[in-house]
Amino acid sequence: MGFSWFIAKRLLQSGKGQKQLSTPIVRIAIGGIALGLCVMIVSVAIVTGFQREIRAKVIGFGAHLQVIKYDSNRSLEAAPIQTNEAWMQELKALPGLSAVYSVSRKPGIIKQGDAIEGVVFKGVSDPAALQFFRQHLESGRLPNIKSPERSNEILLSSTLAKQLKLSTDSSLIMYFVQDPPKARKFTISGIYNTGLGDNDFDRVYVLGDERVVQQLNRWEPQQSGALEIMIQDFQQLNALNDAVYNLIPAELTSQSIEEVYPQIFGWLELMDTNVYIIIILMLVVSVINMVTSLLILILERVRMIGILKAMGANNRKISGLFLRQAAVLIATGMLIGNVVGLSLCWVQDATGWIKLNRETYYLTQVPIELNLQLILGLNLLTFAVCMLSMLLPSWMVSRFRPAKSLRWG
């Protein structure tokens, strides 16, 4: 054990149970670090969890990537694309993709009694496109889109069901906007609720069999309005979007979900700014507490510093013992902060005891996502910043003169 560690250890042990000026200050400093790190961990866990949940809901409606006909007209009545060509097999074999399926959208109007609602009928060809809605079913089941004949079953949101006073197994007539207008009768197989009821999602989308849209538009079975692509890793979104774009024919284009809904993903990215502000504020509080604590520790040990200098100890060794003492205090506060912060996150994730208003936040409870890399990064950042801030007060040791220090007090 080195000289600095030996003295620092004895100082820490000698302070236990003794009434010293530094004792409450040190406790406050440890508590400040613990509170700061706890707040940072909880804040990051909540924000990343919220981003994950909202992102998953938006992706559930539009997939990670979409391939559509290249057209300046962005309406729902875009020209169809051929899904039986050779490039489709190459696309499905592209590494990083988890599912590729065709979809077709068509605007429509539902009239039920005196209520009229404009909707978008989204026809899907693969059950994979409906897996997201399985976990958000309030009643009923998913439409049977794999039946040999065209299915007239649809999935309706609870928002529309309440407005139109409909329930599972109810029938309705939907009028499709075209020339001439056409009407189709559907049966509600299930009702879903993703929490996005007041946005252009639950309030708008009705899901059913893609063959309905193909029949209305007089398309061939191999023609669809778009391709939707699910990927395995969201971090690879832009890279895979470029890979898909380079693979598909020139008359088609690909776009990521971030490009389709830039306002939503811009809002989610804006939340990162709030986290950065919280982290900076908590680090400032921790630094102020530790600097104050170390200054008081140094001032309490002025005579000891004088004795050590008189015995031949240099400034570097004396500064080192105070830095090591500070390191132990910082580590203690960080340990407490980690235990408390991770415990709060675990309790919330396991029980969901903090609830949210679904109409305002789109979620029923505060979401939590514990990212090991982020937590380790916060710990390293906290320790590094606090230790760097200790260099200035430890430098004061070099200003003390043995003769004056021995007369202190």
HEC-encoded secondary structure of 37-64: HHHHHHHHHHHHHHHHHHHHHHHHHHCC
Q: Is residue 346 part of a domain?
A: yes
Task: Looking at the structure, tell me whether residues 313 and 354 fall in a common domain.
Answer: yes
Q: Which residues pair with 294 in a beta bridge?
A: none
- Domain final position from 198, 223, 249: 249
Task: Looking at the structure, tell me whether residues 101 and 236 fall in a common domain.
Answer: yes
Task: Looking at the structure, tell me whether residues 87 and 142 fall in a common domain.
Answer: yes
CA distance 120 to 59: 17
Instruction: Tell the residue number behind the tokens 């004396």, with chain if given.
Output: 318
CA distance 64 to 61: 9
Q: Is residue 258 part of a domain?
A: no
CA distance 15 to 329: 12
Token pair, residue 194, equals: 């993703």
Token pair, residue 78, equals: 């875009």
Task: Looking at the structure, tell me whether residues 47 and 75 fall in a common domain.
Answer: no
Estimate the crossing angle of helix 372-389 against helix 22-62, to 10 degrees: 150
* Residue 192 CA: distances (Å) to CA of 159, 205, 243: 9, 11, 34
The DSSP element (H or E) to which 349 belongs, if any, is helix 315-351
CA distance 323 to 232: 46
Domain tally, the chain: 2
The phi, psi pair for 124, rounded to 5°, reads: -120, 155
Task: Looking at the structure, tell me whether residues 31 and 92 fall in a common domain.
Answer: no
Task: Looking at the structure, tell me whether residues 226 and 286 fall in a common domain.
Answer: no
Instruction: Please state the pTM of the whole predicted model.
Output: 0.81
Task: Looking at the structure, tell me whether residues 77 and 210 fall in a common domain.
Answer: yes
pLDDT along the chain (409 residues), means of 10: 55 51 73 91 93 91 91 66 87 92 92 86 91 91 89 92 90 87 92 79 92 92 92 93 92 92 88 89 87 74 64 68 80 93 94 85 88 92 87 64 49
- Domain final position from 190, 221, 249: 249
The dihedral through the CA atoms of 18, 19, 21, 26 has a sign that is positive
Q: Is residue 100 part of a domain?
A: yes
Q: Is residue 106 part of a domain?
A: yes
- CA end-to-end span of the chain: 31
Task: Looking at the structure, tell me whether residues 35 and 78 fall in a common domain.
Answer: no
Helices (H), 135-180: 158-164
Task: Looking at the structure, tell me whether residues 30 and 95 fall in a common domain.
Answer: no
Q: How far is CA 355 from the centre of its chain?
A: 18
Q: Is residue 349 part of a domain?
A: yes
**With contact defined as beta carbons under 8 Å apart, do 180 and 129 qualify?**
no
Q: Is residue 64 part of a domain?
A: no
Token pair, residue 259, equals: 């490009």
Task: Looking at the structure, tell me whether residues 347 and 298 fall in a common domain.
Answer: yes
Residues of the domain holding 205: 71-249
Task: Looking at the structure, tell me whether residues 316 and 180 fall in a common domain.
Answer: no
Q: Is residue 256 part of a domain?
A: no
Task: Looking at the structure, tell me whether residues 220 and 352 fall in a common domain.
Answer: no
Q: Is residue 210 part of a domain?
A: yes
- Domain final position from 185, 219, 249: 249
